[in-house]
Amino acid sequence: MLQTITGHGWRSHSSKPAQNLHIGKPGAGFSFELTDEQKEFQATARKFAVEEIIPVAAQYDKTGEYPLPLIKRAWELGLMNSHIPESCGGLGLGSFEACLITEELAYGCTGVQTAIEANSLGQMPVIIAGNEHQQKKYLGRMTEEPMMCAYCVTEPGAGSDVAGIKTKAEKKGDEYVINGQKMWITNGGKANWYFLLARTSPDPKAPASKAFTGFIVEADSPGIQIGRKEMNMGQRCSDTRGIVFEDVRVPKENVLIAEGAGFKIAMGAFDKTRPPVAAGAVGLAKRALDEATRYALERKTFGKPIVEHQAVSFLLAEMAMKVELARLAYQRAAWEVDAGRRNTYYASIAKAFAGDIANQVATDAVQIFGGNGFNTEYPVEKLMRDAKIYQIYEGTAQIQRMIIAREHVGKFKA
């Protein structure tokens, strides 16, 4: 079956999460074993990363060019849009399978992985809150050809403080007129459509749970001004931009659920997308560990490979511990989603821990490489730059700790 998958893509193969996942039959117990299909997904993503992403990753990092050929190939292989339901022409994979794929793609290059994963973030509000017409129209088109979407929530003055959003949507007849500015939007200049969060309540004291509305906005709508591509510290081939909305008209049928439901939708999407973000961080950390290990086996000092020095071997051991534990964290968070349970607590633990260890492991890899690690001709300095954003986007490391503390303490107050 793997030959079929890798040769022709996964578009004709259906996959139902409840059947694929090793949730097990009642009373079957706990299992770390992947299903044959999950192993095939993982192997296909790994082959793509090693053979097609890694050879060109450094060049994309250097130029900042959008990796469109890789995105098209990922789409052909079925490595994109894995969350889209079968009813819309997608694979309908579970979160667990999506995370397995994401880890492998991130091993190749997290800039490429972020461009692909941003599609899942943009789609998720429509998946969890869209009606049948909205899903078929906006998710369906993404299964017909390689296409991007984006999640437009962050603003110049509202990142972690989502309730501080200033973009407004005013209802006029059967339309809403949107005015405002968004910032740091991944796929902002490449998206076919956006999920956009805007304030619809005129009352400045209205609670966030009632003040905001989620919209689907066509990217070619009159009044949308797309800013320049930002050149970031890392993940440079990912397309990040500011977007201005000036009197942009959106039909009322593009409202998700109802006016005032937007904040809950936007936050609910994070519970589903934070496990894959954590998986991406693990992929980067695993790459850093592998690169450092290979180098430590080859590099010699004082007459022997540096891996034989306890200082280096212990450093590798610490790195390996972090990678394995972070992987377990994202897998638990994804498993909770596919079991149909609220996973906020586990999603934030996975995202916070994996983001932190990606930075630690990448930094340690540079240390093992020594002076060579500080040089752009070697792979680990890119990993170190790419890692930082995992502590920032989709909820900072500090915001995750706020969520974890709230959820933890709440158990005792219940």
Instruction: Show which residues are catalytic.
Output: 394
The residue type at 33: E
User: Which has the closest alpha carbon to 154: 401, 339, 396, 328?
Assistant: 396
Structure tokens at 211: 């003040």
Distant-in-sequence, close-in-space partners of 243: CB < 8 Å, separation ≥ 6: 152, 181, 182, 183, 185, 188, 194, 224, 225, 226, 227
Contact 363, 390 (CB under 8 A): no
Instruction: Count CB neighbours of 328 within 10 A.
Output: 14
Instruction: Classify burial at 73, counting beta carbons within 10 Å of its beta carbon; exposed 0-12, middle 13-18, buried 19 or more.
Output: middle
Three-state secondary structure of 141-160 = HHHCCCCEEEEECCECCECC
List phi, psi (to 5°) of 314: -70, -35
List phi, psi (to 5°) of 310: -60, -35
User: Which has the closest alpha carbon to 126: 253, 280, 276?
Assistant: 253
What is the Cα–Cα distance from 232 to 227, expressed in whole angstroms?
14
Quote the distance between the C-alpha of residue 76 and its chain's center: 19
Angle between helices 36-48 and 95-108 in degrees, nearest 10: 20
Q: Please say whether the dihedral angle defined by the alpha carbons of residues 367, 369, 371 and 372, taken in this order, is positive or negative.
A: negative
What is the Cα–Cα distance from 183 to 185, expressed in whole angstroms?
5
Structure tokens at 109: 């290059």
What is the Cα–Cα distance from 145 to 90, expressed in whole angstroms?
12
List phi, psi (to 5°) of 92: 60, 35
Cross-strand pairs, 214: 197
